[in-house]
Each structure stands twice: as structure tokens, then as C-alpha cells.
Amino acid sequence: MPHRPTPPSLDLVRGATDQLVVDALLEAESLTRPQLSQLTGVSKPTISESVRRLARAGLVEEAGKATGSPGRAGAVYRLAARTGWGIALHVAPGEAAVAEVDPAGSVLWSARQPLPMTVTPAELERGVRLLGRLARRRRPEAPSVVVASVADPVDATGRTVDLAGTPFVRGSADLREALTGAAERVVVGNDVNWAALAERHDGAATDLSTFVYCYLGAGLGAAVVEDGQVRVGANGLAGELAFLPTVGPEGRAMRLLDVFVSLGLVLEGTTVIDGEAVRRYFATQLPPAPLVTAIGAALGGVAALLGTTTFLVGGPWAQAPGLADRLAAVAGRHAPAPVTLRPAAHQADAPLRGAQVEAARQLRAALHRTLAGPLPETP
């Protein structure tokens, strides 16, 4: 007798239908039952059962009536607040920013606070706790996730690393510990990595699975993206562009950051790059400017080592007229193949945008885990 495959259980079918409904509402925000049926390809009675289950679980709620559509078929549904919310934080020289996001990635609220150009670990930890409390005051329920971006090297444990010449945090801060208790899950990462994620999600790299994102601002950094994933290395510190040896003034070998110091392009008494001074430098220096040679040679070394041919360049002074073409020409001379440079789509808010994208991804993953098991019922 031929073997007949075991049909899927009713619970499995219900879970799959519920996930289709939730995913459709994540994309469209609000839909009627007939619209849900059309989008998912699931029959209207099955959709109606799913909506009732999700409503009993507090995950879906009625949001009004569609114009000219009386009865249940005209009811418009959306995801309820119980599906969770998250906090995205970004701290950098001069400013801190916080945003609330939902599983669809919508920004529900945001705020900014001034910060000094350099901070101690205690000042930074106190600042992120304050931002977290500021966001939490608006809601009775705790966030499911906090994703923090910091403009300094961050190791695999979520601590900032006090490397010689890093511009922002004067010491090692433990932001994961500082945010313990703020949410069920806390993720801390380097700002350049989050900026690269933003470009991959909805910026200038949506068509790229492998590229290097370079940040040119108060600090220097790079994010290595391979097969759609940001690669941080065994210790979390991959992409520290400032430490790469390169060609300095008069052909001397030195770290890339030291080129800025030697040219007087940092704020006095710090290694924070002075963006206005850099813009003036590019406006007055005729090619081949030593700084263009230094940055381009460093990028060429990255291309030679990783086999990468496409770079995204972002940051406050990355859009200087003609800079991308000049850097690409120099990088190509130091790499085994031609190098393409694209301007980044996101600028100052790129790290915060990347943190928002990750917070929304984590919220959706948690929601899918909820749908995979027995649904709770609200009182």
C-alpha cells in the first residue's frame, strides 16, 4: 500500500495563516478582511477565523470602517500595540538621538539631546540611560528591544573599546550593562555598521549584497558587508579604517588618522576630525591633494585584501565636490581591479536609521515566535 504523507496539523495551518495575516498588516498597516484574503490567497472564511484569533490574542484590532463597506467585511484591521515596540539610540560627538519603532519599522516618536564632543564612559552610560527612560515614559509597557549605536569601536560584548586615537569616548563604556532592564533584549553596535545596514535596507546599496561602507566624519570607519551581512570580525572591531597604514604627506607611511593630525585637520587637543577644516582643504587644494592620496590608497588596500570593488561613501564631508571620483581613481591605482565609489543615500541620520531597521527586525522575529506557538488570549 503506498505511503500517504501525513497532512499538516490544524495548529500548523492556523499558525501559517496567522503569520500571513500579520505579515500583510506589517506591509500595508491596515486592511479589510477581503483585502487580506486577496493579498494572502487565503479564503475569506479562513481569514475571518484568523482575524478573530489574533484579536482575542490582542495582536490585531479594529481600526474603523472602510468607506461604503458595511458589516464585518467593511471593518479595517491593524496590528495592536501589544505586538511590541522598540527603542533605537544613537550617540555621537555633539548629539544623541532616540526613536521609538514598531514591528513595521514606523517611527512613532523621536527626540534629540546635545552631547559634548568627547565623553567619559560614565557620562555616556548616564546619557543612554536617560534617553531610554525618556522613551519609556511615554508608554506603560516595556520595550521588547533596545538597539544602540555608538560612534566608537564596539567589541563583540557590546563594550566601547578605548583605542589610541578614537575620538569620542575617553575609556571603555559598557552600554549593554547600562541598558540592562530597559528591555528584554539589548543590542549594541558601532555606528558605521548600522549606517551600512541602513544603506542595504533602503539606501544606495539595495542592489548590492557585497560592498564596503566608508564613513568620513568626526571619525573614520568602515563596515564590511558580505552576502548581505555586516561582518564585524572575531572581536567585533572589523572596519577600523583610521588605523590602516597609508601614504602620508611627502610619501611617508603612517596611519590614516595621523594624516589628518599632520595636516592640522583635527579639533585642537583631540583626534576629532574638523569637518569644516576638511571642506576648506578640499576647496583650496589642487589635485593630487595629499589627503585624497591617503584616503584613496587606504581604500585601495581594503579592495585588494577583500576583493571588494564597490564602496559607499557617507558622512558629513564625504559629499565634497568631485571627491568620490578622485578617491576612486587613487583607490584603483592601489587595487588589482577598478574601484567604484557611490555616494551614500543616508547622511547624518544613517546610524540611527540602521538601528531602527534592526529594532524592527527584532520585533518582527519576536512576533513570528509568538505566532509559532499557542496564542495567548487577552482578558
Q: What is the DSSP track for 194-251? A: HHHHHHHHHSTTTT-SSEEEEEESSSEEEEEEETTEEE--TTS-TT-GGGSEEE-GGG
What are the cell numbers at 317?
564631508
At 104-130, the pLDDT tens digits run 999 999 999 999 988 999 999 998 988
What's the pLDDT tens digit per position in 258-285? Answer: 999 999 999 888 888 999 999 999 988 7
**Residue 1 scores a pLDDT above 60:** no
pLDDT at position 243 over 70 = yes
DSSP state, residue 20: H
Q: What are phi and psi of 261, to 5 degrees?
A: -65, -45
Query: Each residue of 6-39: pLDDT tens digit?
Result: 556 667 778 889 999 999 999 998 999 999 999 9
Which distant-in-sequence residues (6+ apart) come within 8 Å of 123 by Cβ?
A: 116
User: What number is the average pLDDT over the span 211-220?
Assistant: 94
User: Residue 147: pLDDT band by 50, 70, 90 thresholds?
Assistant: very high
Q: Which residue has the higher pLDDT, 280 or 167?
A: 280
pLDDT above 80 for 193: yes
Q: How far lies 148's CA from each of 145, 229, 326, 356, in Å?
A: 10, 18, 34, 9
pTM: 0.89
- Domains of the chain (ranges plus CATH)? 10-82 (1.10.10.10), 84-196+350-366 (3.30.420.40), 204-343 (3.30.420.40)
Query: Is pLDDT at 85 greater than 80 in this prediction?
Result: yes
Q: What is the mean pLDDT of residues 320-335?
A: 93
